[in-house]
A and B are shown apart, each in its own frame.
Chain A
Amino acid sequence: GAVVSQHPSWVICKSGTSVKIECRSLDFQATTMFWYRQFPKQSLMLMATSNEGSKATYEQGVEKDKFLINHASLTLSTLTVTSAHPEDSSFYICSAPLSLADYNEQFFGPGTRLTVL
């Protein structure tokens, strides 16, 4: 299957700093990528849809100025958590769809665990 990577796999930062997370589709191109956040023992919650060449689409309640998304190329989307606070500590996962025979399967990255001190 297709591979989606994320970097870093985990990061610890101080409150008030910014953190950038990269999501790459390694063997296919993706004009759209999705960013999710998952708190412990909770579901994946969609944060935003990243669109190559245009602005990201944010879900209701997600601050676009705090979670900056850039889809720089057909294989790379980045999520920057600006002025991070402890409540931003979470597991961030990206996904990218790939068209298969009769279905566009979404492939997920391994996730990035963010801890804000």
Chain B
Amino acid sequence: QKEVEQDPGPLSVPEGAIVSLNCTYSNSAFQYFMWYRQYSRKGPELLMYTYSSGNKEDGRFTAQVDKSSKYISLFIRDSQPSDSATYLCAGEGRGGGNKLTFGTGTQLKVEL
């Protein structure tokens, strides 16, 4: 079993839709949970991070972590074509700056 599981997609939605991306993890030591966005042939860029369980909102993006069920979610409101990318979730055991365990990434396409 992989430490972080993520549906690879692809996921195609119309512009303006609410997108829900999800991951599950098995490592109970994870304390920080991240969502990265990766465009084709580029390095990942951090979208949001969350410490332990809870919600975090940043503009059109909301990250949720439920440690009891080991479930991580990212919601994108009013999705735009520019949101088309691969979204990777990741877990980390300590306070940042340490090795990350990534999911496989979900490929998202937002269509006009």
Contact = CB atoms under 8 A, between A and B. Distances in A.
Chain A interface size band reads: 20 to 34
A43 B41 CA distance: 13
Interface string B96-109: 11111111110100
A66 B107 CA distance: 32
B75 interface: no
Interface residues of B, number: 26
Interface in A70-117: 91, 93, 95, 97-99, 103-111, 113
A93 B99 contact: no
Contacts of A107: 46
A11 B45 CA distance: 23
Nearest to B32: A103
Contact of B42 (A34, A105, A111): A111
B81 interface: no
B59 interface: no
Interface of A: 4, 6, 32, 34, 41-46, 49, 91, 93, 95, 97-99, 103-111, 113
